[in-house]
Amino acid sequence: MEKAGSLAARVSREADAVLDAVRNAFPVVCAIVGIESEREGRHVGSAFRVSAGRKRLLVTAKHVIDEARSAPLGAGFVERRGEAPARLLDGPHAMSDAADLAVFVLEEVDDASPVLFRASLFDVDHAARSHDYLFVHGFPGERARFLFGESHHRSLPYGVMERDDDLPADTKPFEFAMDYDPKNISSDATLVMPPGLSGSPVWRVGAYRHKPEEWSPSASRLVGVVTRYNHDKRVLLATEISVLDELIQRLA
């Protein structure tokens, strides 16, 4: 049985690893908004930027884009806090209704492009994902306010292990689950209800099979995309990264 001291030290190392990984990953996360007027709009979901070859891509959940496009002026995405959204006029350029994913080609990558997560760092290894510490990073609607020129989004980084039992009956073969129960996990209201988290990336921190002294944030790997929340089981469900990888391959 693990001694209390060594257990506390291990938990502390894992917590530090998650924080470092969150800081490393934050620049690629952005928000999807429905543009209501020339002045304001509403937050709908989350997204993230990926580079694949020379292409700069935006990835989110398809239902997020569909909802955002129901706004009078359509959908947009916000890359940096305080900026007005860039409109998504074309695309998605690859999508899956079954997996609830949408991919947009934004532009060619150049040295001035924002920070991106490379598709070469996708990880489809189920064993690594199930044994590693995961984290989700997105923008819940309860933490977002949107006015042109003063869009405020407080992101939510959330660390958790994959859940492998008592899954929702409708869990699809390409989905995996993570516990998310704001009412019972958190007593200080740091967790919020999940609307707005759809489209968030899911990373594994990369601690699996790494010695603590060998680990760095660059060991993080992208393993999935949050697409929905099951209220009965209180879990976030994510589509495995292999599905996104297949969609991106179609753009080659």
* 252 assigned to some structural domain: no
Looking at 86, 108, 130, the residue that finishes a domain is 108
Residue 138 structural domain? 4-27+119-243
Looking at 79, 108, 137, the residue that finishes a domain is 108
pLDDT tens, residue by residue, 8-24: 455 455 556 555 555 55
Q: Are 106 and 90 in contact (CB under 8 A)?
A: no
Is the same domain home to 93 and 180? no
Name 107's Cβ contacts closer than 8 Å, sequence gap at least 6.
56, 113
* 35 assigned to some structural domain: yes
| Lookup result for tokens 């695309």 | 91
* 114 assigned to some structural domain: no
Is the four-CA dihedral 55, 73, 63, 206 of positive or negative sign? positive
Is the same domain home to 85 and 13? no
The whole-angstrom separation of Cα 103 and Cα 243 is: 12
Per the structure, how many domains does the chain have? 2
Q: Identify which of 36, 35, 49 has the alpha carbon closest to the alpha carbon of residue 85.
A: 35
* 219 assigned to some structural domain: yes
pTM beyond 0.75: the answer is yes
Q: Prior bond to 92 cis, omega within 30? A: yes
Is the same domain home to 9 and 84? no
Q: Above 50 in pLDDT, residue 189?
A: no
Is the same domain home to 141 and 50? no
Is the same domain home to 125 and 73? no
pLDDT tens, residue by residue, 34-91: 998 877 888 899 999 888 888 889 999 999 999 999 999 999 998 776 677 889 988 8
* 48 assigned to some structural domain: yes
* 251 assigned to some structural domain: no
pLDDT tens, residue by residue, 23-40: 555 568 888 999 988 778
CATH number at residue 211: 2.40.10.10
The whole-angstrom separation of Cα 197 and Cα 11 is: 26
Is the same domain home to 80 and 51? yes
